[in-house]
Amino acid sequence: MSRTISELVRLKLDRAAIPIGEGGEQLFTELNPGYMLDEATQAALATLAIAVAEIRGEVEILGQHVHNDELWWGSVAAPNESNACESNVDRPFTAASGNNTWGVGIPVIGSNDRPVKPWQTEYDLHRIAISGVDNATPWKLRFLYGDQSLDEAAAANRYTETMSIASGVGNNIGAGPSELRFPRIPVGWRVWAQAWNFTNLDTISFFAAAHGYPVLEYGND
């Protein structure tokens, strides 16, 4: 049976484990596979074990991000800071552009929204699907995130951007989903979107998808 990268790293760690006593001392003995007489070698092994443990953690995070469920969301009828998203295919989020600058922000995920599964405590906004635009010119979208306000998130530089050139004008333009670079944030943190086009008050509509963490094995509740 094939193993994931994280499983292989864990196996290597288990085989090279350096046991630690109750007082924090390293229990190097002749019965321990990591036993070394030389104290400098012992210290080097301990440092290596810490580095490998950190790598293992990063690998598991990457594995969860790639092998994850994805939930798609549209807008509620009257989005606000508390409730902004629901599962639908007929009401996308719609943001208006500024005059060659960012337009007014709109809520995408509210503080009371749960864009992931019930047991998950963190999420990232993973992809968007643009469903309609007023003009087929370059667009930028900015997604801001935080637990206070859009202005606070912008001042703290908590945002990510993506860009698109629409394949047509109007609704159902046929643009496929595009990925976002987005950090893991706590459920309860809000997400806002802003649009940028060279024409003032033109609109762009989109649906959004989220990943949830922690990821559980299939079959668990």
Residue 104: Cβ within 10 Å count: 13
pLDDT at 37: 53
Is residue 53 scored above 50 in pLDDT?
Answer: yes
Average pLDDT of span 194-210: 95
Q: Are residues 119 and 191 in the same domain?
A: yes
Q: Are residues 53 and 138 in the same domain?
A: no
Instruction: Say how far apart CA 121 and CA 136 lie, in whole Å.
Output: 38
More confident residue, 208 or 64: 208
Q: Are residues 106 and 207 in the same domain?
A: yes
pLDDT at 15: 47
Domains contained in the chain, number: 2
More confident residue, 6 or 152: 152
pLDDT, tens digit, 9 for 90 and up, residues 123-152? 999 999 999 998 888 999 999 999 999 999
Residue 44, φ and ψ in degrees, nearest 5: -65, -40
Out of 14-18, 34-38, 128-132, 215-219, least confident range = 14-18
Q: Does any domain span residue 115?
A: yes
Q: Are residues 119 and 199 in the same domain?
A: yes
Is residue 216 scored above 50 in pLDDT?
Answer: yes
Q: Are residues 104 and 184 in the same domain?
A: yes
* CATH assignment at residue 203: 2.60.120
Per-residue confidence at 197, pLDDT binned at 50, 70, 90?
A: very high
Helix axes 5-15 and 39-66, enclosed angle (nearest 10): 160
Q: Are residues 189 and 126 in the same domain?
A: yes
More confident residue, 41 or 219: 41
Q: Are residues 21 and 48 in the same domain?
A: yes
Which residues does residue 139 pair with via DSSP β-bridges, in sequence order?
164
More confident residue, 49 or 30: 49
Q: Which of 6-10, 11-15, 111-115 has the largest mean confidence? A: 111-115
Average pLDDT of span 182-199: 96
Cα distances (Å, whole numbers) of residue 89 to 47, 56, 79, 85, 208 = 52, 39, 16, 11, 11
Query: DSSP secondary-structure letter at 118?
Result: T
Q: Does any domain span residue 220?
A: no
pLDDT at 55: 80
Structural domain for 50, as ranges: 5-66
Q: Is the peptide bond before 214 cis (omega within 30 degrees of 0)?
A: yes
If phi over 0 gives left and psi between -120 and 50 gives alpha, with beta otherwise, what is residue 215? Answer: beta
For the chain, what is the mean pLDDT? Answer: 82
pLDDT, tens digit, 9 for 90 and up, residues 91-106? 999 999 999 999 999 9
Out of 40-49, 115-124, 142-151, least confident range = 40-49
Instruction: Say how far apart CA 142 and CA 160 lie, in whole Å.
Output: 6
